[in-house]
Amino acid sequence: MSGTVDVDSLGRQDSWSGVRAVVLGFGAAGFAAADNLLHLGAEVLALDPDAGDAGRAERAELLEVLGATVRLGVEPRLPGGPVDVVVVSPEWPDDSPLPEEARGRGVPLWGEVDLAWRLRDPAHPAPWLCAAGEPGGPADPARTARVLDQVLRAAGLRSARAGHGGLPLVEAVMDPESYDVLAVALSPAQLRRAGGLAAESAVVLDVPADPAQRAALGRVYEHVRLACVYAAAVPATEELVREADVAEGARAIGITLGMPGVGMLGLVEDLLVDRAFIAERASSAAELGSLGDVLPQPPTGGQDPDADGEADPDPVRHALAAAALARAHGVSQHAVRDGLRASRGR
């Protein structure tokens, strides 16, 4: 049954005393959610059918000392009494019936993104620059976020990688020392329950064939304030931009491994160039770096034995995507180049 607390009205500076929260999943994201909800004053029950390793058991013991209830390695069940909110971690199994059970009981159902977005510091809400995609493949958003974080740091900003491959989102937004900006990588699992996410800028480099995955990735563009970055070679990414309801004034910015048109970033011979964020974009391009600043250097002693004589396009795609997000944020050409060099080969 649903509880009596209006959790939709609660944020970082409110008292969560009396809120009965259930966290599904006790991986990194689930632990961060449970830990911070407990810190805010909520009553927390964390569930995970996987007992995990000794580290997970230690984290569970710590939270229980602080007042949480953690049940690992047993069949998860929602409590029979009132529940005010259920937070679903991205690692929670898709085939679990518990989220549907919560929805059927009228309990608010939040994802990691939704909770983190609600808990941003209202006095210093660090903008999110988001890369979304399927983890593990050529368009892995963590690769874009890794480069982006280096570029933002090269610009002198206090940045952090958050989301997939980085800090759990809730941990990042609840850091007592606020960040200037976050380089956020998001998977479809994280975006399925993205709540009121309104990224400053966002990029998708590829779109899966599965309609549910496609719909999830499209959510990263919703309410974007500055720039929706897409891959010109993948028309489905531009389609997602066209379908999104963005803030007034937000721009569509393409990236290409060829010569860029106006409003795009791309390559001119071996140079990465910007024809989107300069005043003279109709007639010129700004140099952001070279392929040598992006591509890993071959091992000492000569040619990489696995090289086929052509540059691997994936590091370049991620570099262009990161550069576009950073340039939309106001990062200088020189900082982009320095950040690309710092991230090379990582």
- Rounded to an integer, the average pLDDT of 49-58 is 92
Where does the pLDDT of residue 106 fall: very low under 50, low under 70, confident under 90, or very high at 90 and above? Answer: very high
Q: Which of 1-10, 78-87, 93-102 has the highest mean pLDDT?
A: 78-87
Q: Distance (Å, rounded) from C-alpha 35 to C-alpha 130?
A: 24
| Domain(s) of CATH 3.40.50.720: residues in the chain | 7-114
Q: Distance (Å, rounded) from C-alpha 115 to C-alpha 29?
A: 11
- Scanning 71-225, the segments in alpha helix (DSSP H) are 98-104, 112-118, 141-154, 169-173, 188-191, 211-218
Positive or negative torsion for Cα 151, 154, 156, 161: positive
Place of tokens 């690769």: 143
Closest CA to 255 of 155, 165, 139: 139
Any idea which fold 7-114 has? Answer: Rossmann fold (3.40.50)
List, for residues 8-32, the tens digit of each pLDDT value.
Answer: 999 999 999 999 999 999 999 999 9
> Is 287 strand, coil or helix?
strand
User: Residue type at 245?
Assistant: D
Any idea which fold 128-343 has? Answer: UDP-N-acetylmuramoyl-L-alanine:D-glutamate ligase (3.40.1190)
Q: For residue 164, what pLDDT is reported?
A: 96
Residue 316 confidence (pLDDT) above 60: yes
Percent of the chain past pLDDT 70, that is, above it, reads 94
* Predicted TM-score (pTM) above 0.75: yes
Q: What is the DSSP string of 1-65?
A: -B-SS-GGG--TTS--TT-EEEEE--SHHHHHHHHHHHHHT-EEEEEES----HHHHHHHHHHHH
Q: For residue 312, what pLDDT is reported?
A: 55
Q: Distance (Å, rounded) from C-alpha 205 to C-alpha 229?
A: 8
User: Residue type at 171?
Assistant: E
Q: Distance (Å, rounded) from C-alpha 185 to C-alpha 208?
A: 16
SS3 of the chain: helix, strand, coil, percent, to 5 = 35, 20, 45
